[in-house]
Structure 1
């Protein structure tokens, strides 16, 4: 499939070429972080399409599919931005059913979502498999926090200052733009660009 060339697609092709320079064979994970409503999911979707255009098998996942249920979050106390930042996502499930089996390659199956946060309901696990050579594109809030950052082969941070209280806590503790990440200014989605050198 050949995508229609637009300034956004051209930028993503250039970004993909840079990513693929460091990718030989096997499994690779690209993680995308950024403040609330910064366009992480769209960016991940579009990047995945460009990587597919380059002939690679690509899977998509989002941290939205790895929320803890509201009941599980309540175990950690009252609903506050701090609780959401620290305990809103089930990182154990993320590692156990997605990252670790994906890394094993071959016919090992993995799951790309465990919860529908809009319904606060578990989703029936859909175990998927792929070839030994594949790329996973994962987007989500806090995905470049220090305790997760080393899981990813490529780290992309969408530029922008946090305004949501949970994001303010996260950025004060560990700014994703400083996590050895490629920093992308996507505030004009039709004309994304690499952020200035001081932000990369």
Structure 2
């Protein structure tokens, strides 16, 4: 994998410009983009930056965090609060993401997306209002473990941390085996369209655009 240095500003501009010229693979009116990465890699920050640039280009954008689609605590903590296998395969409600986020953006869908479903602090439904994404709009879904679910993304960006950087920057070390499992079973570096090395937050590098 060849990487070349880039600044976050240039990376954001390049991704936004590429997405502004990209057409949905399914022929529908909405682009669907993944910004995949461990919390320590801060995928939400890159997604927010790209969203801001796309809005300057006149595009309607909806950012959705997988942290808003957690399962209830009774399911997440069925095997304890620090079980890496449960974190990897049982914390995030992929069924709800399919139903509330991707299904409305299929060709012929109504474009009404639920931006979040569950509040982990209160362990209750958020009761958020649906958000109408205009034709030509862009969904930016960000969070960990996004690849390997057959989600219909038009572009996938993976923020990569080396094992040492991930261990150093992860606030909850019990989650580390889950990310090792993701590397082994999914291989996000090979699966993603764009890979960004973020070991040093000041000096990212990337593979370039597909």
SS of the residue 2:97 aligns to? helix
Once the two structures are superposed, the pairs formed by residues 22-41 of structure 1 within 5 Å of their partners are 22-23=22-23, 26-41=29-44
Q: 1:21 to 1:141 in 2, by over 3 A?
A: same
Indicate whether 1:141 and 2:162 are aligned.
Answer: no
**Structure 2 partner of 1:17:** 17
C-alpha displacement of 1:74: 4.3
**Structure 1 partner of 2:194:** 182
C-alpha displacement of 1:104: 4.6
- CA contact under 8 A between 1:156 and 1:181: conserved in structure 2? yes
**Structure 1 partner of 2:88:** 85
Q: 1:189 to 1:53 in 2, by over 3 A?
A: farther
C-alpha displacement of 1:161: 2.4
**Structure 1 partner of 2:181:** 169
| TM-score normalized with structure 2 length | 0.79
- CA contact under 8 A between 2:101 and 2:113: conserved in structure 1? yes
Q: 1:147 to 1:81 in 2, by over 3 A?
A: same
Q: CA RMSD in A?
A: 2.5
Mapped partners of 2:186, 2:124: distance in 1: 30
Mapped partners of 1:19, 1:108: distance in 2: 18
Deviations 1:34-54 (A, max 9, x none): 123101111111111111112
Indicate whether 1:59 and 2:48 are aligned.
Answer: no
Once the two structures are superposed, the pairs formed by residues 86-165 of structure 1 within 5 Å of their partners are 86-104=89-107, 107-144=110-147, 146-148=148-150, 150-162=151-163, 163=167, 164-165=176-177
- CA contact under 8 A between 1:105 and 1:130: conserved in structure 2? no
Mapped partners of 1:171, 1:134: distance in 2: 31
SS of the residue 1:168 aligns to? helix
Q: 1:73 to 1:154 in 2, by over 3 A?
A: same
C-alpha displacement of 1:138: 0.7
Aligned length: 189
Mapped partners of 1:45, 1:94: distance in 2: 19
